[in-house]
């Protein structure tokens, strides 16, 4: 196989270190949980927890609400691998800071990657505590996790990056549970400062429905590695200048809890019966 990511040797090393602790578990679904959803991992049965510190090339995390552990175990009929926490561009100044974790999930056999984040909403009807499934994204940060990747595999098709069949499946699961699941376009901002009201007006003009500081690079990496992607934003606030209160990380975490219960229900239903 030709080398795609420059960090492929690190991915191999970390995958070997992980496999040595998995006791034959073979995860098919990977989840990367952002602010407010880390405790979903508690629902994984017969779980092995591996701290990122034990996995070469995994990031060191600095954000409250991101535990920094990989949990692998049984969920319904399948094994899953849950990454509790991510590193953001603003922590590392590297768009590919999640290349090793995403690569390890792929190497362990995960064919589907589910991503969650906390985000600000540009839709007045989807306020704090709401959940938006990502249908598409906008990346005008000028950064890309494949910037130093090699070969033709770096020219990744991003049409239907958020898998239409998975989205239909999640909408059906939400409907059956009476969960209101919005769907829209997520725009990636680098952070860590929140957006200005003028930036939010610009984002709306460009077609954004939610804004946040993560997820997009992981989606690009996962698509490059051939994984199907589904992604969800827990709406913690209306975006800057939309009449809400001032933004803070503490408020982000507090509000994430409300939507987290809904999203947790949905993810549990999906993992129990992904087909």
12/162 Cα distance (integer angstroms): 26
Q: Are strands 27-33 and 45-51 parallel, antiparallel or unpaired?
A: unpaired
Q: List the one residue from 48, 179, 242, 247 that touches ligand HPA (CB under 6 A).
A: 247
The residue among 50, 56, 61 whose CA lies nearest residue 14 is 56
Cβ–Cβ < 8 Å for 31, 166: no
From the CB of 255, what's the least distance to ligand HPA, in Å? 8
Applying CB under 6 A, does 119 fall inside the site for ligand HPA? yes
Neighbours of 107 (CB within 10 A): 18
Applying CB under 6 A, does 36 fall inside the site for ligand HPA? no
Applying CB under 6 A, does 211 fall inside the site for ligand HPA? yes
From the CB of 244, what's the least distance to ligand HPA, in Å? 9
State the Cα torsion 63-210-220-275 to the nearest 10°: 100
List binders of ligand HPA among 162-201 (CB under 6 A): 189, 194-195
Is 107 or 137 the residue whose CB approaches ligand HPA more closely? 137
| 43 Cβ contact list (under 8 Å, min separation 6) | 75, 264, 268
Applying CB under 6 A, does 33 fall inside the site for ligand HPA? no
Contact region with ligand HPA (CB under 6 A), list: 12-20, 95-103, 112-120, 156-164: 112-120
154/224 Cα distance (integer angstroms): 7
Q: Is 237 a catalytic residue?
A: yes
Residues annotated as catalytic (active site), given as ranges: 35, 66, 88, 90-91, 118, 213-214, 237, 249
Where does this chain bind ligand HPA (CB under 6 A)? 118-120, 189, 194-195, 211-213, 236-237, 239, 247, 252
């Amino acid at each position: 196989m030709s080398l795609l990511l420059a960090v492929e040797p690190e991915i191999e090393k970390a995958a070997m270190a992980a496999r040595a602790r998995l006791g034959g578990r073979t995860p098919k679904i990977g989840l990367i949980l952002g602010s407010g959803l880390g405790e979903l991992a508690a629902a994984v049965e017969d779980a092995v927890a591996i701290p990122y510190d034990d996995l070469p090339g995994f990031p060191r995390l600095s954000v409250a609400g991101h535990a920094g552990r990989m949990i692998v175990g049984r969920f319904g009929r399948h094994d899953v691998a849950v990454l509790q926490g991510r590193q953001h561009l603003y922590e590392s100044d590297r768009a590919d800071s999640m290349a090793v974790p995403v690569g390890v999930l792929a190497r362990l056999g995960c064919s589907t990657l589910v991503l969650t984040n906390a985000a600000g909403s540009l839709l007045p009807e989807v306020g704090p505590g709401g959940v938006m499934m990502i249908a598409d994204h906008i990346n005008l940060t000028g950064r890309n996790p494949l910037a130093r990747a090699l070969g033709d595999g770096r020219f990744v098709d991003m049409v239907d990056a958020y898998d239409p069949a998975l989205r239909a499946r999640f909408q059906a699961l939400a409907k059956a549970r009476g969960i209101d699941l919005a769907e829209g376009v997520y725009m990636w901002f680098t952070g860590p400062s929140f957006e200005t009201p003028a930036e939010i007006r610009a984002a709306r003009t460009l077609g954004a429905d939610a804004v946040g500081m993560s997820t997009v690079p992981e989606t690009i990496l996962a698509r490059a590695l051939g994984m199907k992607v589904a992604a969800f934003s827990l709406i913690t606030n209306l975006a800057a200048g939309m009449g809400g209160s001032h933004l803070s990380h503490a408020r982000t975490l507090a509000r994430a809890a409300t939507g987290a219960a809904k999203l947790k229900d949905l993810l549990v239903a999906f993992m129990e019966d992904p087909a």
